[in-house]
């Protein structure tokens, strides 16, 4: 994944640097290497069998290859053309192993981030519930305290009224006692 300057080369950067131009032509113009033993008939037979093998590839196979190898191979070939190593096949192999390793690391990191986010959300919910519960308890205790104060004030008012009524009653009894003590006559 690294170029000569040891920087990652993304698919978009490779496109911007025109490193992927002619890649289609490279793949489509792959030829068999002529060896002294091969004659033109065997070469044409090989080409015709190769083209018939290509036609046997289903669209599912092509979709599979595009999905699983399209991006890594495109990036790898772009870097190989930029770096131009002495052994490009060896370089390609190592590059693909490194790509796969980086993808696995990204997957593990993504899973860890999801787990941490989930744990953080759970903790935040627990804190929120504890806060709400604490506030609810405080509100209930406050209501109970106000109710007790109100009940106490009402009880004190009732006692004061009873005392006032009792004093009035006592005064009425005293007045009757004095009235009866004078013989029932009211002095005018």
In 10 A of CB 80, how many CB atoms? 16
d(CA 182, CA 100): 121
Give the residue ranges of the chain where pLDDT is below 50. 1-6, 25, 28-40, 43
d(CA 153, CA 147): 10
Residue 68 pLDDT: 83
Residue 1 pLDDT: 43
List the Cα angle 148/150/151 in 5-degree steps. Answer: 65
Helix (H, G, I), strand (E, B), or coil: what is residue 168?
A: helix
Q: CB of 9 within 8 A of CB of 78?
A: yes
Residue 12 pLDDT: 65
Residue 2 pLDDT: 44
Residue 49 pLDDT: 54
Residue 3 pLDDT: 46
């Amino acid at each position: 994944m690294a170029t000569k300057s040891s920087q990652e080369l993304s698919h978009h950067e490779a496109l911007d640097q025109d490193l992927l131009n002619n890649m289609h032509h490279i793949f489509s113009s792959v030829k068999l290497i002529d060896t002294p033993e091969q004659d033109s008939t065997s070469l044409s037979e090989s080409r015709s069998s190769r083209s018939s093998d290509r036609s046997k590839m289903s669209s599912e196979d092509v979709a599979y290859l595009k999905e699983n190898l399209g991006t890594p191979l495109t990036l790898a070939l772009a870097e190989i053309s930029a770096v131009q190593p002495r052994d490009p096949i060896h370089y390609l192999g190592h590059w693909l192993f490194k790509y796969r390793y980086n993808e696995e690391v990204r997957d593990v990191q993504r899973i860890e981030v999801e787990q941490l986010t989930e744990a953080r959300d759970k903790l935040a919910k627990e804190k929120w519930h504890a806060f709400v519960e604490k506030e609810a308890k405080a509100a209930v205790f406050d209501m109970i305290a106000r109710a007790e104060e109100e009940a106490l004030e009402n009880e004190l008012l009732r006692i004061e009224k009873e005392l006032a009524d009792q004093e009035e009653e006592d005064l009425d009894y005293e007045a009757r006692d004095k009235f009866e003590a004078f013989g029932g006559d009211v002095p005018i």
